[in-house]
């Protein structure tokens, strides 16, 4: 592989249903002219999700961030919440908007989710909840976190933004913890353009979430709490339902891509892959993270990230920097040295993965990475598209 791709290959590309199918759905919306405020499509979508997750306790939102923000508000979480610095910034923003103090603790090195030992050590009398993230859709240490939450009487909340379609032991990952939030953002393997979903254990929360996402209205003339506007609209619901029909095919195409990447990349010195998942996990193949060991690979993660752009390949550094290093959270004191998170954030790179990515392109991306590694003996900055691919 010496030539750059003709068109840019981005880290993701949303699945789109056949246009004719979508237009047919739009006709229904045009007929009713019902665009938002609990329209028929949102109601139908909620019903489909109740079946999908095998629970009545689902609540749809216009995005995942507001869903999680409202979840914390509705559950009355306050004081301190133990969470991870290795995530998308929205996980911490929702704490900020609820005036909750984030307590950042370290992650475990295999799948990058909260380290339960560090969580337990960080509990204080002010701790009210654990907010853990299934990073890349890899399940957290579910049993350990549940034990800690039970022992210390804490709520266990999962940011499952990446984990739609993930099952553990034959059950959806939504059934673990007190509540989970799924993001239906277009960058996710499953999406409704924008959108978010809460699934939860306590049925009584449904009414509260419904108020909070609709200004606190109870009927036409009564406002029972200071809510906001976080309702999903009909076009989002239409997209969500249509993409849902294709979920098995989306996941199976992504699975083939993961397999090929892993097969090719495991042989490259300095590239670390996550360990194989336990047999009882059905993964959604949402992301393709690798870690770059700059000494062994002969090039830093950042140089590889930049170099790939020369071939028109746009990987992403999810998640870099750590949340606690963003300017707006610099004043949050962090007791944990975050040794693992600090190392991972400097080494992580997520490679392009989406259902429509041809396997030949995956091979070509791996060829580029391999050739860059092989060429480390030379000055790697001299290697670029058009240069001869060094032999192994
Ligand atoms: C881990 C995580 N949490 C929260 C969010 C926010 O979700 P949304 O974009 O749907 O608001 C995202 C991504 O977008 C995310 O990756």
| Gyration radius (Cα) of the chain, Å | 22
Residue-wise pLDDT tens digits, 139-153: 999 999 999 999 999
What count of other Cβ atoms lies within 10 Å of the Cβ of residue 105? 24
Alpha-carbon distance 152 to 335, whole Å?
A: 20
Q: Classify 231 as helix, strand or coil.
A: coil
- The closest residue, in CA terms, to atom 8 on ligand 1 is 64
pLDDT at 386: 53
* Nearest by Cα to 138 from 104, 117, 107: 107
| pLDDT number for residue 1 | 55
Ligand 1 pocket residue status of 196, Cβ below 6 Å: yes
Query: Which pLDDT does position 43 carry in this prediction?
Result: 98
- pLDDT at position 389 is 41
Q: How far is CA 249 from CA 101, 281, 355, in A?
A: 41, 18, 8
Q: Is 98 in the pocket of ligand 1 (CB under 6 A)?
A: no
Mean pLDDT throughout 264-287? 97
Is residue 195 pLDDT above 60, yes or no?
A: yes
- Residue pLDDT, tens place only, 289-338: 999 999 999 999 999 999 999 999 999 999 999 999 999 999 999 999 99
Lookup result for tokens 């170099």: 307
Mean pLDDT, the chain, as a whole number? 95
Residue 231 pLDDT > 60: yes
Q: How far is the CA of 290 from the centre of ligand 1 (A)?
A: 20
Mean pLDDT of 77-92: 98
Sign of CA dihedral 254, 68, 85, 301: positive
Asked if residue 92 has its Cβ within 6 Å of ligand 1, the reply is: no
Closest CA to 237 of 174, 207, 195, 206: 195
* Prediction pTM value: 0.95
Q: What angle do CA 367, 372, 378 make, to 5 degrees?
A: 140
Neighbours of 188 (CB within 10 A): 25
| Residue to substitute in 69, 93, 157, 161 for testing ligand 1 pocket (most ligand atoms within 8 angstroms of CB) | 161
What average pLDDT does range 10-21 have in this prediction?
Answer: 98
Nearest to 353 by CA among 242, 191, 187: 187
Q: In the structure, what pLDDT confidence band is assigned to residue 375 with cuts at 50, 70 and 90?
A: confident
Check if 95 has its Cβ closer than 6 Å to any atom of ligand 1. no
Cβ neighbours of residue 190 closer than 8 Å, sequence gap 6 or more? 164, 165, 184, 243, 244, 247, 250, 284
What percent of the chain stands above pLDDT 90? 94
Contact assessment for residue 9 and residue 357, using Cβ atoms and an 8 Å cutoff: yes
CA 135/CA 144 separation, integer angstroms: 17
**Which ligand 1 atom is at minimum distance from the Cα of 184?**
10
Rounded CA gap, 193 and 187, in Å?
9
Rounded mean pLDDT, 150-167: 98
- Contact between residue 376 and residue 299 where contact means Cβ atoms under 8 Å apart: yes
Residue 250's H or E segment, with its range, is helix 247-265
Best of 185, 195, 239 for a ligand 1 pocket test (most atoms within 8 Å of beta carbon): 185
C-alpha–C-alpha distance, residues 91 and 79, integer Å: 16
């Amino acid at each position: 592989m010496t030539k750059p791709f003709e068109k840019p290959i981005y880290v993701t590309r949303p699945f789109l249903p056949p246009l004719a199918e979508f237009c047919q759905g739009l006709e229904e919306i045009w007929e009713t002219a019902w665009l938002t405020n609990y329209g028929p499509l949102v109601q139908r979508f909620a019903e489909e999700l109740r079946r999908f997750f095998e629970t009545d306790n689902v609540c749809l939102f216009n995005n995942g961030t507001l869903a999680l923000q409202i979840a914390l508000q509705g559950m009355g979480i306050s004081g301190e919440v133990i969470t991870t610095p290795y995530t998308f910034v929205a996980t911490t923003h929702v704490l900020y908007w609820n005036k909750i103090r984030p307590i950042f603790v370290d992650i475990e090195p295999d799948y990058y989710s909260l380290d339960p030992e560090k969580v337990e050590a960080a509990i204080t009398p002010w701790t009210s909840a654990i907010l853990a993230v299934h990073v890349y859709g890899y399940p957290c240490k579910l049993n350990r976190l549940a034990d800690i939450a039970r022992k210390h009487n804490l709520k266990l909340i999962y940011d499952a933004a990446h984990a739609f379609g993930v099952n553990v032991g034959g059950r959806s990952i939504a059934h673990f913890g007190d509540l989970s939030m799924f993001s239906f953002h277009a960058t996710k393997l499953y999406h409704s353009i924008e959108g978010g979903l809460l699934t939860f254990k306590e049925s009584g929360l449904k009414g509260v979430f419904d108020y909070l996402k609709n200004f606190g209205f109870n009927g036409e003339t009564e406002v029972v709490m200071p809510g906001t506007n976080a309702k999903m609209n009909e076009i989002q619901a239409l997209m969500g339902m249509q993409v849902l029909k294709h979920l098995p095919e989306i996941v199976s195409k992504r699975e083939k891509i993961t397999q090929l990447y892993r097969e090719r990349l495991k042989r490259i010195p300095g590239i670390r892959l996550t360990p194989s998942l336990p047999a009882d996990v059905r993964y959604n193949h949402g992301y393709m993270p690798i870690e770059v060991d700059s000494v062994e690979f002969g090039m830093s993660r950042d140089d590889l990230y930049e170099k790939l752009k020369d071939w028109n390949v746009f990987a992403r550094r999810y998640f870099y920097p750590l949340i606690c290093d963003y300017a707006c959270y610099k004043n949050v004191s962090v007791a944990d040295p975050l040794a693992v998170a600090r190392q991972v954030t400097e080494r992580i790179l997520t490679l392009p993965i989406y259902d429509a990515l041809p396997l030949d392109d995956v091979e070509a991306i791996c060829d580029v990475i391999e050739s860059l590694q092989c060429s480390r003996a030379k000055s790697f900055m001299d290697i670029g598209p058009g240069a001869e691919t060094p032999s192994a």
